[in-house]
Structure 1
Amino acid sequence: MDSFNIPQYAPSPAEVKCEVEKEGSFTINRLEVSEVNWNAYRGEFCPSDAHKDCGYNVAKLIRAVTEPLLVSHFGDGIIEEVFNRYKKIVVVHMSREKIAFVNVTVSMTKRG
């Protein structure tokens, strides 16, 4: 796994606004931030052992996106093990805290 890396950076709303203004081609009409909770309990911690189901669902979601990338790099022989381990990590994390995916949505108009 050490040979595989997907660099990812999630900018803050302030960083998005700063970059758009610095570039100068657009005017921001609206900038909104929303959170999508990763569990099925609408922002609450997963009750009792339900975090296991939540972790399973998150692992399936991430698998749907990343599996083709991983298979093309490593082959399909390790995929089940990778996502079983990932699911266990997510279950532990979700049992300890609320996890949310943050969306930054920007409406812009091109200047001039």
Structure 2
Amino acid sequence: DLIYMAEDAQIGYPPARVWGEPTSVMWVYRLGLEHAKRLMLSGESLSGAEAERIGLASKAVPAGDLPSVVEEMARKLASIPANQLAMNKLLVNQAYENMGLR
């Protein structure tokens, strides 16, 4: 639901440039045409900072701060009634599905 990364983390799937990947189509919806093509055609990796910039990660922070930032968000979410979180998540997921995405 939330993706927190270290700024210097590296993510990617190099075989994408040869055979695509199982989520290739989703990348177009999630990242837009230009970013999806760049990643799928080049197979290059992204840093956590770039993943945040293009919308693939919720937040990228210095590696040393990652545990405390995640813990702070977990505490914040834990203070919200579970049914409220569940309903908001359901609302967002249904809107996403209504757009033809999954």
TM-score by length of 2: 0.32
* Greater strand share, structure number: 1
- Higher RCO, Cα 8 Å, sep 6+: 1
Q: Name the larger-Rg structure.
A: 1
* Greater helix share, structure number: 2
